[in-house]
């Protein structure tokens, strides 16, 4: 194979209507990545990205805008394990999900929607995807999130974050609460509904983090209807039982950030 002087590649930060980010696990590298790949002969940049996303994840997207241009001059090897590959010029785009169901491919072993905020609050993710941080125009995403934190009420509707893998969702939610504990300005309150009340029980590791947040003076409240529905009043380790009326009062006064 005769290589050109450089290779042009495209990748995309794809978001759905619920501010989830699409991630795929590479079958070759066994690492989580954004969708993307090499622009083929006869394709323009948008066509190449839409094709790569479809091939790797099964979904259809629209390209919103160019977010960054990067170059990689380090020596890499082709899939055959022998042939050296020339430097890459990579163009990153912001994309919107349009349709389709998640599926794996020959190139991917897992495909998931991951809450964008939990990604941006995770230091390891930010190191792995610096382009995502730049796409968000946040050099310090955790710091950006903390601005105005005292003006927010967190509505916790689940004991794991996201609709895909439950174990991954629990890890993401625990990471979020761990970082939340470290913020100089905590939220105005945390209100738990639906399965969120299960995070307050003795059997959940999340209750330890929520108890520490509560000890800082943050009201951690549990919907009485939900507590009664799951029958967990006797096993609450953190939080106090409250009412829908109290949540409406908080929602009228503060910005509500929902975790589903």
**Which positions are catalytic?**
110
Give which of 183, 12, 208 is closest to 92, Cα–Cα. 12
- 27 Cβ contact list (under 8 Å, min separation 6): 106, 107, 108, 109
The whole-angstrom separation of Cα 44 and Cα 30 is: 29
The whole-angstrom separation of Cα 9 and Cα 29 is: 17
Cβ pair 8, 91 in contact under 8 A: yes
Cβ pair 155, 259 in contact under 8 A: yes
Residue owning tokens 């050296």:
84
Residue owning tokens 């790949």:
37
E strand or H helix at 210, and its extent?
A: helix 206-215
The whole-angstrom separation of Cα 160 and Cα 127 is: 24
């Amino acid at each position: 194979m005769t290589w050109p002087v450089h290779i042009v590649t495209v990748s995309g930060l794809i978001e759905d209507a619920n501010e989830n980010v699409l991630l795929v696990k590479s079958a070759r590298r066994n690492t989580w990545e954004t969708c993307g790949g090499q622009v083929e002969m006869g394709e323009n940049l948008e066509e190449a990205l839409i094709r790569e996303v479809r091939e790797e994840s099964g979904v259809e997207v629209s390209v919103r805008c160019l977010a960054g241009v990067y170059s990689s001059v380090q020596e890499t090897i082709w899939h055959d394990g022998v042939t050296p590959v020339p430097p890459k010029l990579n163009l990153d785009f912001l994309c919107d999900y349009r349709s389709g169901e998640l599926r794996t491919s020959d190139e991917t072993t897992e495909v998931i929607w991951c809450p964008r905020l939990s990604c941006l609050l995770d230091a390891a993710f930010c190191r792995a995807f610096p382009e995502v941080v730049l796409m968000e125009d946040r050099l310090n995403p955790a710091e950006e999130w903390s601005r105005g934190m005292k003006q927010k009420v967190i509505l916790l509707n689940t004991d794991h974050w996201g609709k895909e893998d439950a174990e991954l969702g629990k890890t993401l939610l625990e990471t979020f609460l761990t970082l939340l504990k470290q913020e100089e300005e905590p939220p105005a309150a945390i209100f738990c509904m639906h399965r969120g009340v299960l995070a307050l029980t003795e059997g959940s590791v999340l209750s330890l983090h929520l108890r520490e947040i509560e000890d800082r003076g943050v009201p951690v409240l549990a919907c009485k209807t939900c507590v009664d529905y799951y029958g967990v009043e006797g096993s609450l380790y953190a939080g106090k039982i409250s009412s829908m009326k109290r949540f409406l009062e908080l929602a009228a006064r503060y910005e509500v950030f929902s975790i589903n």
